[in-house]
Each structure stands twice: as structure tokens, then as C-alpha cells.
Structure 1
């Protein structure tokens, strides 16, 4: 059985990407009759070979004009061409992986969920996790994760009867990012003077920031960025085990207490660390006293606010003595 295609059918197959090697039909001629007679003289044992003309003849023009619309109608759809998996056959592993939803994050860990829960980390692993953290956008401009290297020994349980302070500051800035040190530059020196005025041992005061990455100078830290570091901040508190916590700034207050009222309204009272209900934490963490005051940058710009900040520190000192 032979299949003869006219010029229009060949054009349609070529548009579909199918190449046809069958020679074009030609009217009978003396030459064709001679070629057929010659083919009949080939011995039976010789393998059959296609007859290729010695010269390439031009393709005759199609009998009807080519119509793109007719061609598209005759062309099979992609759904009919693509092979479908049998109903009982599962999706390939690589396809199932591509559409699988991301793993849910731990309530106490970063929002991305690829870091271990903060409460499972000791001091060294906590600092390494923060140095590698990509839970929020702040990591893209980070030069150093910010820690209080001057009081690194405080990230260990205190001796019985030891009074420790913890000062939580707003998000770090350029000076802290460059040094990798909490409370760097002029604000840090002001905090040192405040600690000395209370006659506290600087080695018993742990300084930290509500986030461990600096915030660009053109904007404030966001609530999502504070939430990404909140679990880490609570883990620091568990490691340091302070007697009292002083929150300097509204972002520090947000990370510790989850509150957004003005500082002038929150000052002069004793608060406690806000611990999520789903987070496993010792009872004393939810009872740890927190005192609210103004951020160091505000105190440097407004000298009159230093008297109010001194009152707040005296309140923290009285709470710590009565603990």
C-alpha cells in the first residue's frame, strides 16, 4: 500500500514540523515508464532501496492557496499530542517536589522555618545561627551580626545570688553594623555613663538590640523584622537570666512586650516579658520585670529627657533590689 501526498498536504505537514521524504507525484512520462521498467529488472535478492531522482525537480505550485486558518484547524492541539500519565501512575518525584508547599516554621523560630527553634540553641550555636540568618530582609545589607562581645560571659547561667541587668535597645545602626558590637559609638558611651551612675558592674550588664542586623538609615525597622528576631531575643534572656530588663525605645518595647503605646504613657510602670502561648518557656520568663524608657538617640538630642530616663533607671534599680 502506498501513500501519495499532494503539495497542500506536504505544506501542512511541514508547518507541523514533519518532514516527508516521499518524492512528489508526477504525471506519467516516458522517463518514468523507463525507470519503472528498470526497477523491475533488479534481482529479487537485492535489498529494496528508495529510488532517488538524479536531479531535484522544483515543487509544483499547490492547486489551492494556503490558508493559515485551515492549517490551524487541521493541526492537533498540544493536549492531544502530549502523552498523559495513566490515572494509577503517580506524579514523577521531581514534579511533586516542585509543587510541594514549603515546610511550616516553628512558632519560636524565624519565619522562613529553615533555622532550628531558638530555644534549642546554646550561646555559641545561637550566635552562629544569627550570623547565617536570612529570615528577613535586613540580612541583605548586613556586615556583622551585632552582639555584646564585652559581656559574652553573661551568656551562661549566673552564680547564685548574682544580680544581672539586661538592656534592650532599638535596632542597631551603621556604627553597630560596622563594629559588630551592641551599643557602639556615642549612644554606647552614654549608656556606659548611665550604668556607672547607678554604680553597677559593667560586666553584669548585658546589652542587646531588638534585631541583630542593622536597619538602613532611611527607614525604621518593621514589625515583621522585629518578629523575626523576637524568639532570638527571648533565647538571649533565657541564657543571661537577668534580674531586671530595661527596654530603651519603642521598638525594644514592641519586641519585648508586644505593645505600641507611646513611651510617655508606658513609663513609670513595671511590665513583664510577653511569651507566646505556644512557646515552651520557664515560668520565670513571663514574670521577669521590664522597665520602659526613652532610646539613647532621643536622650542625646533632648537633654531634658535625661532626667526622666534617670527616674526610669532608679525604678529598675529598686525592682532589682527587691527581687
Structure 2
């Protein structure tokens, strides 16, 4: 099967085609470059919930923040027990890393596999909630990082529709 034909079939089925790219000449964004525009005002607000990351989990999370292009003022990390409404006028979305965080925040009891790919809501609040795998799971099963990225993109699309 020719590559163009395969690409056409995948596109018709709604499957995103991934390709490997060389990173030898690419310069990765750094935390310093993220702060390059000091006076830029935040436009959105993300609440990330889950077990506090450390080590490799922290690096993975910071890479996610960079990939989303979030400014430091546009997000915060919270414990799942902290359901206090954020003090912001900006459009807001919550993202739960892990089954326990998703269940505590949403009040749902279903397993994570059923809570993913669904726009939930923080119980008692009008804040959309997206559930995904926890960071430790991503490190143990690297293929699932793509699923977490899909969940992050879902959260971003929900946020853009607010």
C-alpha cells in the first residue's frame, strides 16, 4: 500500500497519523523562555489535581505545561481535597490526574476507564473536569502518555468553548 493511500485511509477513519521527527536541531523550550513575556496577562486558568509530583513525575508535568503553552499565572496544582472555588474571573477548567482524584472531585464512583473522555464537573461547582491517568502511570506505561495528551487537548477544547 502506498504511503499516500495509507494516509488517506487513516484520515477517513479519523485516526491521527503520528510521525517521528528529528530533534537534533530543534531547541526545546525552557522554563526561562516561557517567561519571556513578563507583562502578558493570563487568558485562561487551569486547576491540576492529584498526588503532588516529584522527580520524573515533576519533569513530565512541567513538559506538559510547556507543551500546552501555559504561563505560570494560568495554572495551579491542588490536592483533590481542595475544592475551594478559584478566585479568578478567567475561564477555568480542572484536570484530575488519577482515578482517586477524579472520583473525589466529581463524586462519581466509576473506574477511571469510564470517567475518561467525558466532560465531568467538580461536584457542587460549575467547573468542567477532565479525568486522566496519574503521572506515575504514564511513567510506568509510556504509551499511555498519548492518551493523557488527548485528555489535555479535550480540556483545552472545553476551555476554549467557555
Cα deviation, residue 265, structure 1? 1.3
- Give the structure 2 partner of residue 245 of structure 1: 94
- Structure number with the bigger relative contact order (C-alpha 8 A, sep ≥ 6) is 2
Cα deviation, residue 254, structure 1? 2.0
Q: Counterparts of 2:111 and 2:79 in 1: how far apart (Å)?
A: 19
Q: Counterparts of 1:238 and 1:196 in 2: how far apart (Å)?
A: 22
- Give the structure 1 partner of residue 27 of structure 2: none
Cα deviation, residue 272, structure 1? 0.8
Q: Counterparts of 1:193 and 1:272 in 2: how far apart (Å)?
A: 26
Cα deviation, residue 310, structure 1? 0.6
- Give the structure 2 partner of residue 196 of structure 1: 66
Whether the 8 Å CA contact 1:164–1:205 is kept in 2: the answer is yes
- Give the structure 2 partner of residue 165 of structure 1: 46
Matched, 1:303 2:142: yes
Whether the 8 Å CA contact 2:42–2:71 is kept in 1: the answer is no
Q: Secondary structure at the match of 1:239?
A: coil
Whether the 8 Å CA contact 2:44–2:92 is kept in 1: the answer is yes
Q: Counterparts of 2:126 and 2:159 in 1: how far apart (Å)?
A: 13
Q: Counterparts of 1:306 and 1:169 in 2: how far apart (Å)?
A: 16
Bigger fraction of residues in strand: 2
Whether the 8 Å CA contact 2:42–2:74 is kept in 1: the answer is no
Distance 1:240 1:302, change over 3 A: farther
Whether the 8 Å CA contact 1:250–1:260 is kept in 2: the answer is no
Q: Counterparts of 1:309 and 1:202 in 2: how far apart (Å)?
A: 21
Cα deviation, residue 260, structure 1? 2.4
Whether the 8 Å CA contact 1:270–1:291 is kept in 2: the answer is yes
Cα deviation, residue 203, structure 1? 3.1
Q: Secondary structure at the match of 1:246?
A: strand
Q: TM-score, normalised by structure 1?
A: 0.35
**Residue pairs, 1:86-125, within 5 angstroms:** none
Cα deviation, residue 183, structure 1? 2.6
Q: Counterparts of 1:271 and 1:203 in 2: how far apart (Å)?
A: 24
Whether the 8 Å CA contact 2:93–2:159 is kept in 1: the answer is yes
**Which has the greater radius of gyration?**
1
Aligned length: 121
Cα deviation, residue 240, structure 1? 5.3
Q: Counterparts of 1:202 and 1:313 in 2: how far apart (Å)?
A: 17
Q: Counterparts of 1:294 and 1:191 in 2: how far apart (Å)?
A: 12
- Give the structure 1 partner of residue 79 of structure 2: 209
- Give the structure 2 partner of residue 266 of structure 1: 115
How large is the RMSD of aligned CA atoms in angstroms? 2.0
